[in-house]
Amino acid sequence: MPKALKIFLIVFVSLALLGGGCFYAVSRFVDEIGPDLAQKGKKAKEEGEIWGKAHTQQQSLIEGIRRANTCSSELDILCLVEQKIFLKVSLEYSKPSPKFCDGVPKITEIWETTTWRSKRCSELAPDHLQICNNIIEAVQADCEERSAKSAK
């Protein structure tokens, strides 16, 4: 058997085993956190709807940032997902705040998004910039949705 073929087979089998191991690890992780994540997501939606109906967009943003800052770190993915869901839903149900969406770029505008998020998070959560960056996308999504609805 040629040496190049042996090397190819060794690399191919190694990558297949590594890929299979990664797939197994991810599936086990999802199996274990899936039910908990679904329950927390449902709770965050319910809380976001109740909060949003009683508050403005600006108040919802501040509450969303406050809640996200309670996450243990920017690596606490479950907590950040839960808080992003809360913020998204609360913004959806909240009363409009004057000029809330002024200057908010579309999510597809990468450079403007990076600059805007950095500036807003420096104002809202200077001690938790990464956590803020992880959830503030909900503001952009809400502003885009409201803009699209008003354009119709």
CA atoms within 13 A on the CB side of 124: 26
Whether 86 is covered by a domain: the verdict is yes
Q: Is residue 17 over pLDDT 90?
A: no
- Number of domains into which the chain is organized: 1
Structural domain harbouring 80: 35-151
Residue 5 domain-assigned?
Answer: no
Is 60's pLDDT higher than 90?
yes
- Which two three-digit tokens encode residue 57? 């967009």
CA-nearest of 44, 57, 51 to 101 is: 57
pLDDT of residue 27: 67
| Within-domain flag for 1 | no
Kindly state whether residue 96 falls inside one of the protein's structural domains.
Answer: yes
Residue 9 lies in a domain: no
Residue corresponding to tokens 């956190």: 33
Q: Please give the single-letter amino acid code of residue 57.
A: Q
Provide the pLDDT for residue 84: 92
Q: Identify whether 100 is part of a domain.
A: yes
Return the percentage of the chain with pLDDT > 70, whole number.
86
In a domain, 25, yes or no: no
Instruction: Tell me how far apart the alpha carbons of residues 1 and 91 are, in angstroms, rounded to a whole number.
Output: 64
Give a yes or no: residue 20 inside a domain.
no
pLDDT value at residue 2: 74
CA 32 to chain centre: 20
User: Computed from CA positions of residues 149, 103, 73, 61, in that sequence, does the dihedral angle turn out positive or negative?
Assistant: negative
pLDDT of residue 22: 66
